[in-house]
Every structure is written in structure tokens, then in C-alpha cells.
Structure 1
Amino acid sequence: MSVDIVLTGTEIRARFLDYFASKGHLKVPSSSLVPRNDPTVLLTTAGMQQMIPYFLGRETPPAIRLTSAQKCFRTTDIDIVGNQRTLTFFEMLGNFSVGDYFKREAITFAWEFLTQVVKLPADRLHPTVHPEDNEAPQYWHEIAGFPDEAIVRLEDNWWGPPGASGPCGPDSEIYYDRGVELGCGRPDCQPGCDCERFLEIWNLVFMQYYQDLDGTRTPLPRTNIDTGMGLERLAMVLQNKESVFDTDIFRTIIDYFADLANTHYGKDAKTDTSLRVIADHARSLVFLAADGVLPSNEGRGYIFRRILRRAVRHGKLLGLDKPFLSLAADTVIKQMGDHYTELHTQRNRIVEVLSMEEIKFGQTLNTGLTLLNEQLDQLKQQNHTVIPGEDVFKLYDTHGFPVELTEEIAAEHGFTIDTSGFEQSMQRQQERSRSASTFVQASDDRALTDILQRVGPTEFLGYQGVTGSGKIVGLVVNSEEVDSISAPQSALVILDATPFYAESGGQIGDRGDLTGPMGNFQVQDTRRPLKGLIVHYGSILEGHLRVGDTVQAEVIGLRREDTMRNHSATHLLHKALRDLLGTQVEQRGSLVEPERLRFDFTSPRALTPSDLAQVDEQINRWIRADFPVNTKILPLQEALTIGAMALFGEKYEDLVRVVSMGSSTELCGGTHCVSTGQIGLYITIQETSIAAGIRRIEALTGRAAEAYLRRRSALVETLSAKLQTQPDNLEARTEQLLQELAASRRQVAQYQREAALQQAGSIAEHAQNVEGVAVVASSVNAPDDKVLREMGDMVRSKLGKPGVVVLAGVFDERIAIQVSVDATLTKRGLHAGKIAAAVGQRLGGKGGGRPESAQGGGKNKAELGAALDLVGPLVKQNLK
């Protein structure tokens, strides 16, 4: 029996959401592919991830019945993307109950939607349940009429959390029977079989438990429902297609790429696979870029880069040698932008990121191809037919060259790759990475943990000022708790309350003094090694201090003020960048210290001098406006609702501190000025790149900015005096001198060139005759490599017959070799590259090049004469 109705992907999504809205569910928008405050996963992998805080009772949901079409991303099966239904990016249709309905209603809704709304034939639908779930089979019998023997029990019907811990429970999956002709033919073929007959389309998860890191499960405060149905799979069934890529969701994108590659879908299996891979990956990249993911070598950025490189590789297989992914962005945006409106608002960012990264990878491919071809040449000379695994890994790890492409090119040249060796190299690198990333607790942690458990968190007094009184509740020396310290011991001091700010959020820790009745402790740094515990690091300068003593704590006020100026300025800088470049700008790190500020942020391009000038002007306008700096404590959700900016990747408590100044509002626990006017002055001194898509600004404020301007002014005065001009005329005077210097250099270079070329005639007259070939091998005086090459050509032209010219020039610590061979002699077996290699090797270096022209060199000046003596015998030996 065929399906009675054909719907487009857009219509299916709308019917799903409208159906559940009619059943009292609130439509909620898809959350970002970057999970909010969830460190357990890099990307959103399921529709229920944004619901987890509701299921756990940590947040109040906007309604107890919810429905959504959620953007999802999974890379576990990336290597087989391109088959009938495996995707990286997909849409998950879901309905959710937060402590409201449970199994009976979930099954009722699912059955009604499938059989009455989209009208799938009931006899093609088959439910499965967990073996220990006795309720779900009963409901399937009562609601849909399934006899017990028709309900398949599978151990896999258990849904675990996307990370190591979280809500979980048994589930019931609904399979669609695609037809016996697609089956394996076994009599026990049923839902859950590995063959193509039964396709899972919907999973109804009955959230009953919370799973801890150790696997322990405890009942949730209330039962919940989480369901997920892949839009693409449902479209495949409803449109009677053999593959998700044959549906309208993908065909527009596939046809676009097919036209671009001057081919068509369905031409052959290899072409179809590449078209499917590119179509999937293009969607993935567009959505990743829209949600702020930028290419890098780790985390989400690495996933982005890997997806893009895989797409480009398949593009090359189709003959797409020029960048093409950014061109396809508008096709994806046009198809999906009406529902996912962020695609329209972020269109320019998407195109820019895809274009820049694809161009960069194109350069990587060219570099990798050159290196691979050189390696293949060397292996051929050694009569080897296998590329060592370590070399394959180096191409992959150092140059980003895909292993699959290495393998393909190797096969074209009759080579294979050492797969086992590559995997061993990969494993070693992963082990090194794990070792480098393993968190090793400091030896002080045990003692500090005991203190924290005993006395509780430290009260921070620093928002009110730089002085305060506190009682010593702990002393640590050499990782052990002690009762007292005396001069000149170094120690860790813990107070019950302190005005010292502990390093956090990019702001460095305070310095100052703790003065007690019998001693003085100098605080050299303040940190928070354990959540809630502020620790003073330093040494006692005189006397002694004991646990229980009350001390007067005093932060170095001037240092704190300078730090506060820089911290408040980072907030203004963040806002100014977002105003200038767009809301896709996100803070990715900062350093706030007394002397300067450093701010890292996402941006696909460098800022121009004009951009930086606008940023500086805007910030200084806000400083002159003297906006008050206001702080308040709010619930996290309320703070985010009012527009407070949360830092990427930061984990926040339920209550957060909101800092506002003018139009800037951020979540921040640091210390700040009372008003923006106290910043005084802001100056950007540098803007650089620190990673792909990540830029860094360094800036000065207040006293440091004033000192910077004084130094620059003094420098201008000094240069003006030396150049005998007024400061206002300094630029013109400098340009005049540069032109004069350039003219003088050109004149000197011409004299040097003429002198060098005069040598050419003399050198040519002393050429050796080797088997009828004129051979010159000489050391010459040349000012640079360019003139050395010209001398080689000049000498060869003056020989009067076919010849070989090898000239050596000594430049500082290196020797450069230039080899020229007449074209007629290359046909007789002479090769300039091989001569350069032999001479370079004798000099302790290397050489190589084309048959007619090559270069080489080394640093062993003592061997120069012997190296040149090799030329005559080499010519004689190789001449045919």
C-alpha cells in the first residue's frame, strides 16, 4: 500500500507544530546549535536538550506542554554521510510534557498524528518497547489495537542523556515498513533488524529517572515526555522516496551543485555520493556559521573545519576547483530561512566565513598536493609502493590534508598508504592531547578543601571598597595546614571575609597587605582555587600571624583603580564591536590588569584602521557621557531576558550579577568604576589574529593611556629634531627621505649589477671543456640572489656553445647556488636540479629544481671549493 498524501518538508514541519499546538502545546523556537550553559556536549544533538532544565526542575518552563522543530547536529557517522539517510545536520520534530501527561497521551498523540494528520497507512506502522516496560504495550493495544505479539521488545529502547549524566528513561520507537522487497529475507526480520525494510521514524521517550556519572539512576521529581521525529526521514516516507536526499528538502541543493559541476544527479554512484555529501555539509555549515561557530583546530570549530574540508574534497571529485560553498549559502537560506529567520539576519556572516575558510583550505590543498607529489617521487626512486603512516599523519595533522585524498592520489600513482601506521600515529597524538588536557590538582587542594568544608565560602567585601576586616580561618604552608606563620615564611592565608578580588573572568587578583596584631603579610596574588574560597598568596614580612587573628586587609588602591578602568572599558569595547560588526561578535577571552586590557572576540576578518578609529571614538564618547555603572543580582533567565550578554562557554549560577553602563549590559562578577567617566581615556594599541576567526585587541585606559600619549609625543619631538623639521611636517619630511634613500639604493644596486656582470665575461673565458660541453663552476661576488641568477644567464650566453653554469654566492652566513643547463643538454641526460642537489649536499644543505634551472645552498663555507669541484665529474658521468 502506498502513502495517500505527499507533503513538502516545510508543510510537514508546519502540520506537526500546528497539530500539537491544537493539543495545548506552546510552540517554542529552536535553540542554537551551540548549547546554552551545557558543557556535556559540543553541539545540540537532540530536540530535548533545551528542555533539560525544565525536566530537572531547575527552571520554570514557559508552558507544561511544548512543541518545537529543533536544529540538531551529530558527527558520529560522518564517514558514511551520503548513504540513504545518514546526516550531520537534521531537524528534530518534538513534543514535550513537563510533569503533565505521560505514556498514554504521548502514544495517543503520535498515533493520531501519523494516521490521521499525515495519513500514513496503519498497517505499515510498528511500535517497539523496552522489555521491562509493561505499561507502553498495554497502551499500544488499547489505542492502536496492536496485539501483544505484534509489539517488539528491544533492549535498545532506552534513552540515555546526551552527555555522561542527565534525565533518562525507557522509550517506544515507531517503525515504518518500507516493504518486504527491501528486507533481508530472514523469517525473524522485524523492527530493529539491520536491513533496509523497517525505518525508525519517531521515538517516544518516557523520562522517569536521572542518571548520575556513575550510572546510578534515581526517579525524577516528576515524569516527563520527550519525543523526537526526524523531519527528513518522515519526508522520505511521505514522499515515497528511497533516500532522504531524494526529497524536496535536499533536491534543490543537490541540483544546484550538479549544475555547478556540469553533471546531474543519478549519473553514477560515485557522483551521487559526492553530491549528497556536499548537500548535507552545505546545510550543516550554513547553520553552524549562523549560530556563531567559527572554524578552528578544536571543539566546535574543528567540527566546522572538518565538515567544510570534507565537502571541498567531494567538490574536487566533481571537478569544482573554485570556491563553491559560499555560493550555495543562498540556496539553503532561501529554502529554510522562513522558519529559521536567523539565516537571513546572519547571511553576510555565513557567506564571509564560508568563503574565507574555503579559500584557506584551497591553499592548504595546494600545499599538501605539492608535498605529497614530492614524497611520491622520492618513494618511486627508492622503489617503495607504500606511503608510511607517519608521513600520511603529518600531511593530515600538520597541513590539514585529508587522509582520504592522500589515499586516492596514492592509488592513482600505484601506491597504497600504511593505514595501521597512520592510526598508530593518530592514537599517539590523541594520547598526548589527553595527557596535556588532563587536569592535575595542585597539592594545596586537599588542605584548602578541608578548610572550605570546615568554614564555608569567603565573603567578598571588595565591591564596597579596598579595605576591610577579616578573621584568619586557615593557613597553609607547603600544602599542609598550620596554626601560625612567622617571617619570612611564604604561605596561603584564608579569611572569613576579604576585600581582595580573586582572579576570575579575566580580571587578575588583587595585591596588598594583611596587618594583624603581631605581624604583616604581603599579598602577592589572590585566587579562587576552589569554588567559593578566596585565597591570599604571599609571605609574611615581619612578626607572626595565627589562625583566629583578626587582620586589617588593604588592597593597593591605585592598582585596583587602574584594573577597574580596564575592566569597565572591556564592557564598552564589547558593545562597540557588536555595534560596528554585528551581534555575531562574541567575547572569547580577556585579560584585565592594571597596565592594560586584552580582549579576544570572534570576527571572520581583521579590523581596518577606520574600524578601529570608530571603536575608539565610540568608547571615548561613552566615557565622556559619564554613564553610571549599575549592578544588580538577578535570576539567570531574567538577566538573559533583559538582554544581558553571557560569555561563550561560561557556566553560570542560578543567580547572576548584572553590570550595566549606558547601552552595555553583561553578566560579570568583576570590579568596576562608579561611572564611565572614571575610565578617563581609551586607546587601542594593537589588533591581531590569534586563531582562525578569533581576533585580539589590546588597549590602554586612564593613567597608562596618558603615559602612552606622552611617550608618543616625545618620540615625535625627537624625530622632528633629528630630521630637522617641525612635527606637523614630519610625514612629508620622512617621505622625502625615503624617496632619496630608495633612489640611492637603486643606484648602488645598478653599480653592483654592472660590476657583477663584468665578471661574467671573465668567468666565461675560463670555462672547462668536458666531453665537448663548456662547464663553468665558480664562486662570484654578487649582491643578492637576483643578480646571481642574472650572472648565470649572462655567463651561459657568453659561452658560445651549449654549456653548464654553476655559480656560488656567499651571503652573510649562507651560500647560494645557481645552476643553469642548456636545453639541448637536458636531452643528453644533464639535469640542473640533480647537480644543485649534489652541490648543496656537500655544503651541508640541499638543492633542486627543473632540468634547465635549479637552486641550492648550504652553510659550510669550508667545503665550497670541494663542492664546485664536483660539477665537472657530474657532467661527465651523466652526459649521454
Structure 2
Amino acid sequence: MSSALSASQIREAFLKFFEERGHRRVASSSLVPQNDPSLLFTNAGMVQFKDVFTGREKREYSRATTSQKCVRAGGKHNDLDNVGYTARHHTFFEMLGNFSFGDYFKPDAIAYGWEFVTKTLGLDKARLAVTVFNGEGGIPWDEEAFELWAKQGVSRDRILKLGLKDNFWAMGDTGPCGPCSEIHYHQGDDIPCAEVTAGRQCKGVACDCDRWLEIWNLVFMQFERKEKDAPLIPLPKPSIDTGAGLERIASVVQGKRSNYDTDLFQSILSRVSELVGKPYSQEGGASMRVVADHSRAAAFLIADGVQPSNEGRGYVLRRIMRRAIRHGSLLGLDELFFFKVVDRVIELMGEAYPELRDGRTFILEVCKHEEESFRRTLNRGMKLIDEEVARMKQSGAKVLSGEKVWELHGTYGFPWDLTEIILKERGFEADIAGYEKLKKEEAEKGTDEGGISKDKAIATVHLKLLERLGPTEFLGYEGVGHEGEGSVRAIINKGGVELTEAQEGDEVELVLDRTPFYGESGGQVGDTGRIVGHGGKAVAQVLDAQRPVQGLIVHQVKVTQGTLKVGDMVQAGVDGQRRSSIRANHSATHLLHKALKMVLGEHVKQAGSVVAPDYLRFDFSHFSPMTPEQQEQVEDLVNGWIRENAESQTRVMNLEDAKKSGAVAMFGEKYGETVRVVTVHPQSTELCGGTHVRRSGDIGLFKVTGESGVASGVRRIIAVTGLGAIQYMRETERELKKAAELLKTSPKDLVKRVESTQKRVKELEHKIEEMAVKAQAGSSKDLLEQARDINGMKVLATRMDPADPNVFRGLADQLRDRMKSGVVVIGGEKDGKVVLLVAATKDVVARGIHAGNLLKEMAKEVNGRGGGKPDLAQGGGEDPSRIPNAFDKFYELVKGTNLS
């Protein structure tokens, strides 16, 4: 065994080994799966090849090898809570794999695996063992694999048989499946084992301890299950899917008992150690390991376009980052530190994964922004938890209620799982079941932060059509453009049933063998138009064109005349004017992307888009709102490129060559091995399957109509082009003239007139407030006569409509001055909303009255929230009809307060 091999050398050795044996080296796919909406993240090497294994997708190669980025930190595959406390669990890891798509099978896969492990890596054969499927559930045992391992020289007593749980793989209840075989490495019997501690014998390879470590899994896809629990059917072309965790392989090759002791982590841990000012050690180093592991996951997820948020993938990323920041705080890191650790990850892994280096500036900004935000939340949340813990100690309670956990989460943004961890550290528990119940109730109201939304599953009928008919030929790129002839290959009704014909009035889906209609994808909406058959006797209005399966274009139509049948030859015509507008907006989107990078910085990445005939929408990564000057700069750049009227160019290239040429990939596109590279202007080259203008001048004019934030670190631009831009400016000019007429001035002097009018309005509002306060001051004596005497102090709740916070504060000061000792609530309604204000004199505050706490409970009665200082607090709510209930709650709370 060569201890000199670094993790990078192992990765390269693996890929080179299989390249030399006819495998295509394929780049790692994104951590966000593009062909499996059921997955939060890519969690195995085979995910990017799933459609190849099922036959939905064809590639020009039948053998592949990859080093795939993987994350397991949410949903079914969730190792988050174990990370930092074990030697092997990680949120992010790399999976080395070799794949055969109906090419070689068990003999070659087993021979390759054994050769790489024993010869290339030089692992001691005496420390290796393998497992095969033992036969369960009516499935025969894998005798073939057993004999093939023996043929490689593996001692028969080192070939163990394990069951369905360990050695049988399935993609789901249906689909490809088959037995698998694992290679295990013996680390030593001195490693602790729970079985031995309990007085029993270690189970060896089958044991949960780390004495035997699985380092490679070979899946033999040789069966298919058509229906759940149905008999297995042999596949005509069996395939191979293998996976070997780089972290585990590195630990074995480098002679380490923990993945964290390998060079994959040591440099990162050294950075954490530098920041903490203490050396790293296995004992007591859990928090450092958490920070190191989570910094890798954060770097790669952000590089692949995931942003911290309160839903879906973004919520998982936020949990990972905040868990790391929390452990940094436990280590004494009170200043921003996480981005510094992430920067070490980029430095360490940027060569193997260039997307880290390309996105470095943005990745670090996201980390800084999230840590700044969370530290504010953490400080506020810790104070609240301290208060709750003090109350529980006083009352003898051991469990924090679900309502309090929800309040910390919903009102103050404090993560429920962090609440649970902190309480556990202090010897208390959290009522998570109660929290989940409240969370569910909020979800039913439509306000839950929820999990990842499930994309609609690809209709089975479309998959079957693609398999039977093959891909649709798209005619819309070049000369044929808007029109073309094709044959009706399929007609489908709304229930997903295939028909032989469609009659006048029917709304159906049509599939042609060739079409000029662009199916919606990559942000560009689908085309509309007409399909005509039988010499004009049959007509269908095309309402939309979709691409439910990659390669298949489906026309959603309404038959307006005659009858269309499967097999008919038809003339398909796209709405040319609409298509031209879409093309202009799509090309403008590319130019906008480049202009944003030049004005705001290279960290800008597309985060979504819509290209419609009447507007374009472009979402991009950036943290602060654009200034008017920046928006003007972007407009000037784009319009300058439009005026240059450069000829657009389109090239069809190999994907890897296209990326090497500098072409930028656009968000939402799924790329095959061959791609279209579109250059709208020499400044902008993108990978894109959409339709574009022939010259940049065809865009006409570009105008930004709006810029806003849509999520943390994501901004959105809305813009129009051509005639749409001219129409927008004319409408704006008309509104400007109308406003000027109303204020009896000219458009040129409108700003001055508005400023002077605003000044006059403020002066009048101030006078009205003064008059209202004087009027209420005169009646404050009468109001005090309504005050109650509770626990030796004056207590008053009064209503005033319409509500005005400024007037409320003035009146509250008057009442406090006159009552000398007491607490007052003023409530009212304005524009359908509730305004509440609580004020207390200093002496009753000293006795235990807290205005902020009183208001917090009262606000719940009016479906609102609020808080404040012990002597003054303000809040509001949504239900004015319950203001009397809030007052009743106020009197009840004051009466029940334990005064000193």
C-alpha cells in the first residue's frame, strides 16, 4: 500500500484507470438533480445516469467514470446529526464510480474493482473481504459473483453472503434492480465494538463497528420489476453501477482511522485551529469537525446555485451553515469566521472543481451575509432561551412547550433544532411534537416554510411515446423558421389516453415527427400558432408547446375545424410576430447577463428566467439592490451592443469543448453531450437551446422596468425590448403628463412641485397631531375616572379610532403623568388593522409589570404580534373585532402578575 497517495492523486488514478479501459470521463453533475424531482440533492454517482439506465436517454458512450459531488443532509438520506461525532459521516462527500450501460457486466466489473484496489492502490489482500447477495425474498443467491471473486484469488472464506438489506439494490418499488457486491477493508480488532463491549462476539463484516470498513459497492443491474411486489424479469442488457467513497478510500490508503485525519480535511481543520487558537485533536474536536465538514457542503451547494432560505434545498443549506456557525461559537469564535474556512475549501478543491474558483467571490459573500444574519438571530434567541430556562428552573418544568418552540422559530427566526440542542445541553427537553403540530396548522394556512416542492412526475404516456417514436425533430432554428411539414404521430386526451383521431371542439395534445414549434424549456415559453391538415379542411389552434420529456415536443391544441387523425400529413405554422418578440427577449437576456457581470461583478450568476413575448424576467445572484446609476449602466451596455448590430452565431459543439471555449451555461437547461453555443454579440457566448435574433440590432431597444429582491442574495430584473420598450416609455410619458396636469405644472417641473406639496402635507399632518393630542389631553382627566384599582395601582384600557401611534404615545404620556402609579393600554383600528400601545409608570415596572410582555400576550388575541420595553411597548394585529378580547386579557394579566 502506498501511503504517499493524496486524495487528489487517488481521484485522478481512479478516473485514469477506467479511462484506459474504455470509459468516458464524465464531469460531476450538479448537486441539484435535473432528472429526479424526488431528490433534494444528488446523493450517489448514478443519479446523473438514471435516465440512461432506464432507457429514457441515449448517450454516445456505453462506459463512463466519474468523481461525483454528493450531499446527504436532508430527506431520506440525512446524516446531519451524526456529522462531527463519528469517523465517517459527512454532509458532502465524493463518490468515485464506473458505469456500464448494457456493455460489460459482472466478470469485468469484479476484475476491474479487484485490480484497482490491490494493484493500483496496493492494498493488502489479506485485509480485504467481499460480500455477495445470499438469496432472499424468492430471489436466487448470487453464485456467479461468488465464483468470480474466487477466480480473482479471494479466499472463499473471505466471500461472505449477506441479505436484501445489505446486498440487493433497487431504484424504487419498480424499475431496474439487482444484487450488489461490496469490498471491505479490515482496519484492526483494536477498534472498539459495541458487541464486544456487551460481552458478545464482533459480527465481522456484518457488524456496525468500524473494524471492517466498506470501501466499494458494485451494483449488478440485471432485473426489472414492472409492478410493486411483481416477479423480477431479467434485463436484456444488464448494467453496472459502482460507488467508492473517496473519503473512505483515502483514509485506508493513508492509514488513517478517521476520514478527518486524511489530507481532505487536515488543511481545513488547520484553518479552523488557527482561527480558534487551539490545536485540533480527535478528543474534544467534534465542533472543529462539524465546521470543517459543513464548510465543504456550503461551498459546493452555493457554487451549484443553492441559496440559504426558509424552504426546500435552501433551508437544508441554512441548517448546515447555522449548525457550523453555532459550533464555531462554542469554540469561542465570536467574530465572522465561516467564510474564512470556506475560502480554504475553495483553495484546496478549486482545481478539481473549477466552479468553486469561478464563484469564489459570491460564495464568500453568501457565507458572510448568512453568518451576520444568524449571529443577530443567535444573540436574540439565546436571551429568550435563557429566560425560558430560568422560568422552567423556578417552576420545576423539564420540557419547553411546543408553543414556545414555535414562537422562537416563527416570531424570532430561531431554528427549532437548535432550540432542541441547546436545551438538551442544559438538561431540558423541547416539545417537538407540539411544535410540529403548530407548524402543520400554519402550513394549512399557507404560511409554512415547508420542505421542497415536488415537481410533477413526468407523465408515463410521454415516456412511452419517446421510447416508441423517438425524439421530435425541431425545425425552428434556421431557414425553415416559422413553418414546416410533419406527420401526426400521436394524439393524447387530457386523461393521458392515446386516441386515433381528434374532432372539432376537442382539446388534445398532438405529437408530430417534426415541428417548427419550440417546446417550453430553459425559461423560454412555448410557441403558439396553427396546425392544418387535409388541404385546409382540418385546423387546430396551437395554444402552447411543451417539452414534458427531453427530446419530445408536445402541442397543446384545440381542433377548430374538421378532424385530425394519426398518420395525417399536416402543415405547422408558428405565430411569427410572437416568435420574433420572444427571440428578441431571449437574446436580450443573454446580453443582460453579460452586462450585469460587467457592472456588478463576475459573481453574478443566473438564478432563473422567463422569456415571454411581452417581457423578460432575469433572476441573478447579488446581495444589494441595484442603484439607479447601475441600472442605467446596464441599459447603456445592452443598448450599445444592440446598436452595433453584430451578427449572431450558432455552433453545435461537444459539451466539454463548449465549456472550454468559455461558453456560459444558463440556469434550468439540461445539456446533452452535444450542445448549441449561441453568440448574440462577441461580448456574450452562452450554451442555449432557445431561439435567437439573427443580428443584435433585431432586438431594437432594451429598457429595465423593474428591479427587486426575490430571496436572500437573489435579485430580479424585469425588462422589455423593441416595440414593447417603446410602448412602455410612451405609457410612462402619458402618466407623467397626467400627474403634471393634476398638480398644475409641467413635466419638467413636476419633481419640484411634488417636493413642495409633500412639505406642505407634513406641516398640516403635524398640526393635526398637535390638535389631537391637545384634545385628548383635555379628556385624559375623564378617562382616568374609568381606571380600575388593581393590586394598589391604577389600570386603564381605552379605545380610540382611528388609531394613530403618535397620538397614542402623546396621550399615554399624559395619562401616566396624571395617574402617578399605574399602567395603561390604548387600542384602536386604522385601515382594518389593530394598533395597540402599553405604557407603565416606573414604580410599577420596578414591582414586576413589563409592558412588552403584556403586549406580546394581548397581540395574540387580535391575531398579531408585538413587544417592547418594560415601560413602553407597541404592536398590532389583523382582527379589530377582537380588541375587547385584548383588553380583557390585559386586565387578566395585570391581576395575575406577582408584584413585589
Give the TM-score, by structure 2 length.
0.75
Instruction: Using the TM superposition, give the Cα deviation of residue 701 of structure 1 relative to its aligned residue in structure 2, in angstroms.
Output: 0.9
Which of residues 364, 387, 391 is equivalent to 1:351?
364
Instruction: Using the TM superposition, give the Cα deviation of residue 94 of structure 1 relative to its aligned residue in structure 2, in angstroms.
Output: 6.5
Give the corresponding residue for 1:31: 28
The residue correspondences of 1:278-317 to structure 2 (distance < 5 A) are 278-296=291-309, 300-317=313-330
- 1:788/1:18 CA distance change after superposition, 3 Å: closer
Distance in 2 (alpha carbons) for counterparts of 1:879 and 1:168:
72
Q: Is 1:274 equivalent to 2:287 in the alignment? A: yes
Q: Is the 8 A contact 2:867 2:875 kept in 1?
A: yes
The one-letter code sitting in structure 2 at the alignment partner of 1:591 is V
Give the corresponding residue for 1:175: 185
The one-letter code sitting in structure 2 at the alignment partner of 1:348 is T
Distance in 1 (alpha carbons) for counterparts of 2:883 and 2:437:
42
Distance in 1 (alpha carbons) for counterparts of 2:16 and 2:686:
39
The one-letter code sitting in structure 1 at the alignment partner of 2:72 is R
| SS in structure 2 at match of 1:590 | strand
Give the corresponding residue for 1:148: 156
Give the corresponding residue for 1:683: 703
Q: Is the 8 A contact 2:827 2:883 kept in 1?
A: no
Which of residues 225, 250, 255 is equivalent to 1:234?
250
Distance in 2 (alpha carbons) for counterparts of 1:288 and 1:720:
51
Give the corresponding residue for 1:87: 90
Question: What does the per-residue CA deviation read over 1:374-393, in whole Å, with 9 as the maximum and x for residues that have no partner?
Answer: 99999999997655668757
Distance in 1 (alpha carbons) for counterparts of 2:120 and 2:752:
78
Distance in 2 (alpha carbons) for counterparts of 1:517 and 1:13:
66
The residue correspondences of 1:649-668 to structure 2 (distance < 5 A) are 649-652=668-671, 658-663=677-682, 664-668=684-688
Give the corresponding residue for 2:809: 789
Q: Is the 8 A contact 2:133 2:142 kept in 1?
A: yes
Instruction: Using the TM superposition, give the Cα deviation of residue 175 of structure 1 relative to its aligned residue in structure 2, in angstroms.
Output: 0.6
Give the corresponding residue for 2:717: 697
The one-letter code sitting in structure 1 at the alignment partner of 2:721 is T
Instruction: Using the TM superposition, give the Cα deviation of residue 280 of structure 1 relative to its aligned residue in structure 2, in angstroms.
Output: 0.9
Distance in 2 (alpha carbons) for counterparts of 1:208 and 1:441:
23
Q: Is 1:328 equivalent to 2:341 in the alignment? A: yes
Q: Is the 8 A contact 1:167 1:208 kept in 2?
A: yes
Distance in 1 (alpha carbons) for counterparts of 2:833 and 2:502:
64
The residue correspondences of 1:202-217 to structure 2 (distance < 5 A) are 202-203=215-216, 205=218, 209=222, 216-217=233-234
Question: What does the per-residue CA deviation read over 1:248-301, in whole Å, with 9 as the maximum and x for residues that have no partner?
Answer: 5434534544565576655975xx333322221112212322343333455543
Distance in 1 (alpha carbons) for counterparts of 2:121 and 2:628:
59
Give the corresponding residue for 2:71: 73
Q: Is the 8 A contact 1:507 1:591 kept in 2?
A: yes
Which of residues 245, 250, 253 is equivalent to 2:268?
253
The one-letter code sitting in structure 1 at the alignment partner of 2:327 is H
The one-letter code sitting in structure 1 at the alignment partner of 2:268 is I
Q: Is the 8 A contact 1:210 1:220 kept in 2?
A: no
Instruction: Using the TM superposition, give the Cα deviation of residue 86 of structure 1 relative to its aligned residue in structure 2, in angstroms.
Output: 1.5
Distance in 2 (alpha carbons) for counterparts of 1:246 and 1:435:
35
Q: 325-334 or 809-818: which moved more?
A: 809-818
The residue correspondences of 1:481-630 to structure 2 (distance < 5 A) are 485=503, 489=505, 491-492=507-508, 494=510, 501-505=518-522, 506-511=524-529, 521=539, 523=541, 525-528=543-546, 532=552, 534-535=554-555, 537-538=557-558, 540=560, 544=562, 547=565, 555-580=574-599, 585-630=604-649
Instruction: Using the TM superposition, give the Cα deviation of residue 665 of structure 1 relative to its aligned residue in structure 2, in angstroms.
Output: 4.1
Which of residues 185, 193, 199 is equivalent to 2:207?
193
Q: Is the 8 A contact 2:342 2:364 kept in 1?
A: yes
Distance in 1 (alpha carbons) for counterparts of 2:51 and 2:709:
37
- 1:607/1:7 CA distance change after superposition, 3 Å: farther
Q: Is the 8 A contact 2:169 2:219 kept in 1?
A: no
| SS in structure 2 at match of 1:708 | helix
Q: Is 1:111 equivalent to 2:131 in the alignment? A: no
Q: Is 1:707 equivalent to 2:724 in the alignment? A: no
Question: What does the per-residue CA deviation read over 1:789-816, in whole Å, with 9 as the maximum and x for residues that have no partner?
Answer: 23323443355x5445555666565675
The one-letter code sitting in structure 1 at the alignment partner of 2:246 is G
| SS in structure 1 at match of 2:697 | helix
Distance in 1 (alpha carbons) for counterparts of 2:483 and 2:548:
23
| SS in structure 1 at match of 2:718 | strand
| SS in structure 1 at match of 2:720 | strand
Instruction: Using the TM superposition, give the Cα deviation of residue 703 of structure 1 relative to its aligned residue in structure 2, in angstroms.
Output: 0.9
Give the corresponding residue for 1:243: 258
Distance in 2 (alpha carbons) for counterparts of 1:454 and 1:139:
37
The one-letter code sitting in structure 2 at the alignment partner of 1:611 is Q
Q: Is the 8 A contact 1:659 1:668 kept in 2?
A: yes
Question: What does the per-residue CA deviation read over 1:69-127, in whole Å, with 9 as the maximum and x for residues that have no partner?
Answer: 65443333222112122222234567889969654454244223444xxxx66654545
* Unaligned 5+ runs, structure 1: none
Q: 170-179 or 392-401: which moved more?
A: 392-401
The one-letter code sitting in structure 1 at the alignment partner of 2:735 is L
* Unaligned 5+ runs, structure 2: 135-140
Instruction: Using the TM superposition, give the Cα deviation of residue 716 of structure 1 relative to its aligned residue in structure 2, in angstroms.
Output: 3.4
Q: Is the 8 A contact 1:477 1:491 kept in 2?
A: yes
Q: 332-341 or 11-20: which moved more?
A: 11-20
The one-letter code sitting in structure 1 at the alignment partner of 2:259 is V
| SS in structure 2 at match of 1:285 | helix
Distance in 2 (alpha carbons) for counterparts of 1:869 and 1:416:
29
- 1:875/1:847 CA distance change after superposition, 3 Å: farther
The one-letter code sitting in structure 2 at the alignment partner of 1:295 is P
Question: What does the per-residue CA deviation read over 1:748-768, in whole Å, with 9 as the maximum and x for residues that have no partner?
Answer: 545555555566678779988
The one-letter code sitting in structure 2 at the alignment partner of 1:689 is G
Distance in 2 (alpha carbons) for counterparts of 1:229 and 1:451:
38
The residue correspondences of 1:2-81 to structure 2 (distance < 5 A) are 7=4, 9=6, 13=10, 16=13, 31-34=28-31, 38-39=35-36, 43-46=41-44, 58-59=58-59, 71-75=69-73, 76=77, 77-81=79-83
Give the TM-score, by structure 1 length.
0.77
Q: 500-509 or 349-358: which moved more?
A: 500-509
Distance in 2 (alpha carbons) for counterparts of 1:811 and 1:766:
24
Instruction: Using the TM superposition, give the Cα deviation of residue 700 of structure 1 relative to its aligned residue in structure 2, in angstroms.
Output: 0.7
Distance in 1 (alpha carbons) for counterparts of 2:330 and 2:868:
30
Give the corresponding residue for 1:218: 235
Distance in 1 (alpha carbons) for counterparts of 2:186 and 2:753:
82
Distance in 1 (alpha carbons) for counterparts of 2:14 and 2:158:
30
Distance in 2 (alpha carbons) for counterparts of 1:391 and 1:58:
54
| SS in structure 1 at match of 2:555 | strand
The one-letter code sitting in structure 2 at the alignment partner of 1:292 is G
Q: 841-850 or 624-633: which moved more?
A: 841-850
Q: 657-666 or 490-499: which moved more?
A: 490-499
